């Protein structure tokens, strides 16, 4: 871990009782959903993390408690530091509070969270799907959502697939 | 096939002003098929006459499921997906991906491969900026720009074809190095390009930079302040045009960028013209890096010797049983990566291209997240077009240089 | 004074109406200015300086479907884009032709997943498939010339039937 990052991490650990994981010089802090707004406000205002680089999630299905980790990747331009915050949430009715008030860029990223993982974002100003069509069912990036693989057509099975392929009409 | 949904104002009530509900302002749909949205972007505009009151981008028309599809492939095979992500910056995407894999499994890369990576990504940056310059010229009715820029771009694509056999989807960088060494003609091709390109940049500038029509359309249009840019996560040339000197190549050098001497062009005006000037300057800086990297390019291997991750060359397979086993294992099973996650970012022509890669101990990634710069850069559009004319919207959209494949993934 | 004197020594060409109509259709075939993904960049290259599609009477890309004869589906078609693509196709006036450019438009390409149509022929009827990811501009031009071949072979009596 970068030595400039250490006091910041220590501060968050003391204030919120966060667990710390390190891998290849990267620091990952684990917080609870209800702490995230306070923690990000603190990091932005006092430690110059002005940029929310990424906001996404990982699905650990079939594990259910916690099933998801919601991930906030922060960057400080002034101090040239990076920090990752992870928020574990459970599989049944996953929920995190919105951070759009802190970083405006979270708006679309949280819509993506809703669309792709079905994680509800409480207090989001515009909770619509962002990438998939409005009437789409399911959340594609969940592990229990199928990839949707179709059998490719080769010369040996050409006719068989040709028969059931839904060709468009004029 | 599902039908096109009818847009009802009910759904967008919270996004438009109260005047739209009474019919005082007009809602207009722009896209997804529109020549100046640079792809399949749809904008819902609320207009007061010619003035844009609100702009609501609607994305996802090119959603390809790349993240999910990468999870179903082994680490080597998933790389082809990254090419097709931001198709203006294929080498850069490969670089972001292979760097993430190398970080995850802790693989080192020989110096020659690093040098080649730098040369090719910088050439790609030039090619990407050329497409941007050509198409945004086209949007502002400067047809000749398009023809000139594509002429030079062809030359770069020929170099890519020389090294990888493909013009666009190169997949040339591989975890642990590059696919194979460059052919002997490579150096001459790059030198030729270095020789003619500065004159060509002057040519573009003589057509546009002082052109009064161009200046009228660009200066003081689409002002983006530093604070708003950071709030919305804007990175890359658009951020640098707003006065923030942030370039990952300088701030966190990778691939040996620290050895090269180059400047990071910045401007403080934050308008469309400033973004144009920053990119033009970047063309020159990139060329400088290419030249230095070519002069310094060391000899030696281009792939790591770590056979657990990097397949052996053909010549070894015929004579060594062990090499054959490695080859077989790597291409049938793939290599396992630790159960951990890394985030690695590179500076793409559009900004910070980050890749979050999470392994689960097996040969396939558990999660790949692509932090694509255009996604955030487009997010700020609705803020900076307010109060401008519809015609200016086209100029602003061109100036933030979006690629739809990068946004929708 | 007859028509011969007006024409001077320019001569007269006789042909069938069918050939004439088909010939004029091939030499002023206007494609729709419509790019979806990476292949669209190669389509632009085909239009630009080095390859120059205007040699085949195709320099005029129309942004409106109502003015175009040829739809080049350049890129992958997502589930959200499919209905839009169909509507654009329906808006084009007859006669119209479709080229599926690239592997994605032809068969889904590398993206065999939930988001992409496995071939645009599920959405619109396709006349010519161009393989490649992306196809080189030469390949696209070959595809276009193949469409021209097809048009030249069209018969009026077939048109009347449909
Ligand atoms: S065929 Fe290849 S180049 Fe064309 S759209 Fe598909 S991925 Fe892109």
- Write the pLDDT tens digit of every residue in C115-151: 888 888 888 999 999 988 889 889 999 998 899 888 8
Residue C100 has pLDDT above 70, yes or no: yes
| Poorest-pLDDT segment among B6-10, B187-191, C50-54 | B6-10
pLDDT at site C10: 67
How many residues are given for chain B?
409
Q: What is the mean pLDDT of residues C20-39?
A: 85
pLDDT at site A14: 85
The A residues from 106 to 145 touching B (CB cutoff 8 Å) are: 107-109, 125-126, 128-135, 140-141, 145
Q: What is the mean pLDDT of residues B263-271?
A: 88
pLDDT at site A130: 87
Rg (CA), chain B: 23
**Beta carbons of A133 and B2 less than 8 Å apart:** yes
**Beta carbons of B251 and A80 less than 8 Å apart:** yes
pLDDT at site A46: 84
Contacts 24+ apart (CB under 8 A), A38-45: A39/A12, A39/A15, A39/A85, A40/A72, A40/A74, A40/A85, A40/A99, A40/A102, A40/A103, A41/A102, A42/A11, A42/A12, A42/A15, A43/A8, A43/A12, A43/A74, A43/A83, A44/A102, A44/A103
In chain C, residues with a C-beta closer than 8 Å to the C-beta of A145 are 114
Answer whether the bond into residue C95 is a cis peptide, omega within 30°. Answer: yes
CB B74 within 8 A of CB B368: no
Residue A19: beta bridge partners? A30
Task: Give residue-wise pLDDT tens across range B59-80.
Answer: 888 888 888 889 888 988 888 8
Task: Give residue-wise pLDDT tens across range B366-401.
Answer: 999 999 998 888 888 888 888 888 888 888 888 888
pLDDT at site B125: 92
Distance from CA of B30 to the nearest CA of A (A): 17
Q: Determine the distance separating the centroid of ligand 1 and the alpha carbon of C133, expressed in angstroms.
A: 5
* Domains, chain B: 66-305+335-408 (1.10.645.10)
Distance from CA of C115 to the nearest CA of B (A): 5
* CA distances (Å), origin A26, targets B101, B254, B348: 15, 16, 22
- Helices then strands, counting H and E runs in chain C, come out as 7, 3
Q: How far is CA B186 from the centre of its chain?
A: 24
Average confidence score pLDDT of chain C: 84
What DSSP line would sit under B371-393, residue for residue? E-HHHHHHHTHHHHSTTSBHHHH
Q: What backbone torsions phi and psi does residue B368 show, to the nearest 5 degrees?
A: -120, 120
Residue C4 has pLDDT above 70, yes or no: no
Which CATH number applies to C29-151: 1.10.357.10, 3.30.70.1150, 3.40.50.12280, 3.30.565.10?
Answer: 3.40.50.12280
CB C59 within 8 A of CB C53: yes
Question: Helix (H, G, I), strand (E, B), or coil: what is residue B142?
Answer: coil
Torsion angle, alpha carbons of A135, A138, A141, A143, to 10? -170
For testing the chain A interface, which of B369, B371, B408 should be mutated: the one with the most A CBs within 10 Å? B369
Token digits of residue C140: 């696209």
Answer whether the bond into residue B315 is a cis peptide, omega within 30°. Answer: no
Measured CA to CA, the distance from residue B129 to residue B244 in angstroms comes to: 20
**Beta carbons of C79 and A169 less than 8 Å apart:** no
Question: Helix (H, G, I), strand (E, B), or coil: what is residue C105?
Answer: helix
Measured CA to CA, the distance from residue B327 to residue B336 in angstroms comes to: 15
CATH superfamily of A6-164: NADH:ubiquinone oxidoreductase Nqo5 subunit (3.30.460.80)
Pocket of ligand 1 from Cβ distances under 6 Å: B 84; C 37-39, 75-76, 102-104, 109, 133-134
CB B46 within 8 A of CB B16: yes
Residue B91 has pLDDT above 60, yes or no: yes
Percent of chain A with pLDDT over 70: 100
Identify which of A148, A166, A169 has the shortest CB distance to residue C113.
Answer: A148
Q: What is the mean pLDDT of residues C22-31?
A: 85
pLDDT at site B121: 92
**Beta carbons of C79 and A166 less than 8 Å apart:** no
Measured CA to CA, the distance from residue A64 to residue B20 in angstroms comes to: 45
Q: How far is CA C34 from the centre of its chain?
A: 12
CB A115 within 8 A of CB A131: yes
Domain residue limits, chain A: 6-164
In chain A, residues with a C-beta closer than 8 Å to the C-beta of B230 are 50-51, 77
Q: What is the mean pLDDT of residues B183-210?
A: 90
Distance from CA of B395 to the nearest CA of A (A): 23
pLDDT at site B311: 86
Give every residue of chain A whose pLDDT is below 70, as ranges: none
How many residues are given for chain A?
170
Q: What is the mean pLDDT of residues B303-322?
A: 85
pLDDT at site B317: 85
pLDDT at site A132: 86
Residue C50 has pLDDT above 70, yes or no: yes
Which residue of A lies nearest to B250 if distances are taken between CA atoms? A80
Residue closest to B126 by CA, chosen among B196, B183, B64, B67: B196
User: What is the number of other CB atoms lying within 10 angstroms of the CB of residue B217?
Assistant: 18
Rg (CA), chain A: 20
Question: Would strands B51-58 and B42-48 be described as parallel, antiparallel, or unpaired?
Answer: antiparallel
Domain residue limits, chain C: 29-151
| Poorest-pLDDT segment among B8-22, B159-173, B347-361 | B8-22
Would the CA dihedral through B98, B104, B110, B114 be positive or negative?
A: positive
Identify which of C80, C108, C113 has the shortest CB distance to residue A133.
Answer: C80
Measured CA to CA, the distance from residue B231 to residue B227 in angstroms comes to: 6
pLDDT at site B124: 92
CB B40 within 8 A of CB B31: yes
pLDDT at site B118: 92
Measured CA to CA, the distance from residue B1 to residue B5 in angstroms comes to: 12
Q: Which residues have a Cβ under 8 Å from the Cβ of A50 and sit 6 or more positions away? A: A44, A75, A76, A77, A78, B230
> Would you place residue C1 in the very low, low, confident or very high pLDDT band (cuts 50, 70, 90)?
very low
* CA distances (Å), origin A153, targets B77, B351, B408: 20, 39, 27
């Amino acid at each position: 871990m970068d030595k400039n990052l250490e006091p910041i991490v220590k501060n968050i650990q003391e204030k919120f009782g966060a667990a710390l994981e390190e891998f290849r010089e990267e620091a990952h802090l684990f917080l609870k959903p209800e702490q995230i707004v306070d923690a990000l406000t603190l990091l932005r205002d006092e430690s110059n993390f002005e940029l929310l680089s990424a906001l996404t999630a990982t699905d650990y299905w079939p594990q259910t408690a916690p099933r998801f980790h919601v991930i906030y990747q922060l960057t400080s331009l002034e101090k040239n530091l990076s920090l990752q915050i992870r928020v574990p949430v459970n599989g049944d009715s996953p929920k995190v509070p919105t951070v759009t008030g802190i970083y405006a860029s979270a708006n679309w990223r949280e819509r993506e969270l809703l669309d792709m993982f079905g994680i509800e974002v409480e207090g989001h100003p515009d909770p619509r799907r962002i990438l998939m069509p409005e009437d789409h069912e399911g959340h594609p990036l969940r592990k229990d959502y199928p990839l949707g693989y179709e059998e490719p057509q080769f010369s040996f099975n050409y006719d068989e697939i040709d028969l059931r392929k839904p060709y468009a009409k004029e | 096939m599902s039908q096109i949904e009818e847009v009802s104002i009910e759904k967008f009530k919270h996004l438009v002003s109260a005047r739209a509900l009474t019919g005082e302002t007009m809602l207009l749909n722009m896209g997804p098929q529109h020549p100046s949205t640079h792809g399949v972007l749809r904008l819902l505009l609320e207009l007061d006459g010619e003035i844009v009151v609100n702009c609501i981008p609607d994305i996802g028309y090119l959603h390809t499921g790349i993240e999910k599809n990468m999870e179903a492939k082994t680490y080597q095979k998933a790389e082809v997906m990254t090419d097709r992500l931001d198709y203006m910056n294929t080498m850069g995407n490969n670089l972001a991906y292979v760097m993430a894999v190398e970080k995850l499994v802790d693989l080192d890369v020989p110096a020659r491969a690093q040098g080649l990576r730098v040369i090719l990504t910088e050439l790609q940056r030039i090619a990407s900026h050329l497409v941007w310059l050509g198409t945004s010229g086209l949007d502002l009715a400067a047809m000749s720009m398009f023809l000139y820029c594509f002429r030079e771009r062809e030359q770069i694509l020929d170099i890519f074809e020389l090294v990888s056999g493909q013009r666009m989807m190169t997949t040339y960088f591989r975890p642990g190095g590059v696919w194979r060494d460059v052919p002997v003609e490579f150096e001459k091709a790059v030198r030729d390009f270095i020789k003619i390109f500065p004159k060509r940049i002057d040519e573009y500038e003589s057509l546009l930079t002082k052109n009064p029509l161009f200046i009228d359309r660009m200066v003081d249009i689409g002002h983006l302040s530093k604070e708003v840019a950071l709030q919305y996560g804007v990175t890359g040339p658009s951020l640098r045009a707003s006065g923030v000197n942030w370039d990952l190549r300088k701030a966190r050098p990778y691939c040996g960028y620290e050895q090269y001497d180059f400047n990071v062009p910045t401007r403080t005006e934050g308008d469309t013209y400033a973004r144009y000037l920053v990119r033009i300057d970047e063309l020159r800086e990139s060329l400088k890096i290419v030249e230095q990297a070519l002069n310094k390019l060391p000899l030696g291997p281009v792939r790591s010797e770590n056979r657990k991750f990097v397949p052996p060359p053909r010549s070894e397979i015929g004579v060594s049983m062990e090499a054959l086993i490695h080859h077989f294992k790597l291409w049938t099973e793939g290599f396992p990566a630790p159960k951990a996650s890394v985030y690695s970012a590179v500076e793409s022509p559009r900004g910070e291209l980050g890749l979050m890669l999470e392994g689960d101990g097996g040969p396939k990634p558990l999660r790949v997240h692509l932090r694509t710069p255009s996604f955030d850069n487009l997010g700020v559009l609705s803020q900076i077009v307010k109060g401008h004319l519809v015609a200016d919207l086209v100029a602003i959209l061109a100036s933030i240089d979006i690629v739809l494949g990068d946004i929708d993934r | 004074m007859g028509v011969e004197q007006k024409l001077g020594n320019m001569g007269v060409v006789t042909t069938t109406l069918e050939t004439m109509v088909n010939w004029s259709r091939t030499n002023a075939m206007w494609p729709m200015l419509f790019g979806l993904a990476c292949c669209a960049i190669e389509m632009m290259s085909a239009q630009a300086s080095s390859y120059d599609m205007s040699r085949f009477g195709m320099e005029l890309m129309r942004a409106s479907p109502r003015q175009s004869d040829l739809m080049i589906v350049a890129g992958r078609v997502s589930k959200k884009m499919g209905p839009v693509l169909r509507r654009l196709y329906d808006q084009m006036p007859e006669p119209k032709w479709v080229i599926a450019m690239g592997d994605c438009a032809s068969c889904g390409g590398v993206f065999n997943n939930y988001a992409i149509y496995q071939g645009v022929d599920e959405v619109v009827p396709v006349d010519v498939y161009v393989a490649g990811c992306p196809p080189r501009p030469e390949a696209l031009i070959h595809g276009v010339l193949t469409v021209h071949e097809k048009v030249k072979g069209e018969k009026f009596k077939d048109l009347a039937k449909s």
